[in-house]
Amino acid sequence: AADSKREQFRRYLEKSGVLDTLTKVLVALYEEPEKPNSALDFLKHHLGASAPENPEIEALRLEVAEMKEKYEAVWEENKKLKAKVKVY
C-alpha cells in the first residue's frame, strides 16, 4: 500500500513537470564552475525564475519602467537648466 502511494506520487510529480524542473536546476548547479555559497539560494533563485509571473509583480515592473523614464526626462531637464544658469 505504501509503495503504491509512493508510486502514484512519483507519477504525479513526473506528469506535472516537477521532476523535470528539479532535475534541470540540479544539473545547472552541478555544472556551475564555481559552486555558490548557498546551494539552497541557488535553487530558490532558479526555481523562482521558472515560476509563472504574479500579475502584481508584472504591474510593479511596468511602474518601475515608467518611473525610470520619468527620472531620465527630469535628469535631462535638470542638466539643461543647470547649463542655462551655468551651475555645476
Rounded to two decimals, the pTM is 0.50
* CB distance 25 to 47 below 8 Å: yes
What is the structure's pLDDT at 51?
56
What is the structure's pLDDT at 46?
87
Regions of the chain short of the pLDDT cut 50: none
* CB distance 88 to 82 below 8 Å: yes
* Grid cell listed for 47: 526555481
What is the structure's pLDDT at 65?
94
What is the structure's pLDDT at 53?
65
Per-domain boundaries in the chain:
1-51, 53-87
CA–CA dist 36, 29 (Å, integer): 8
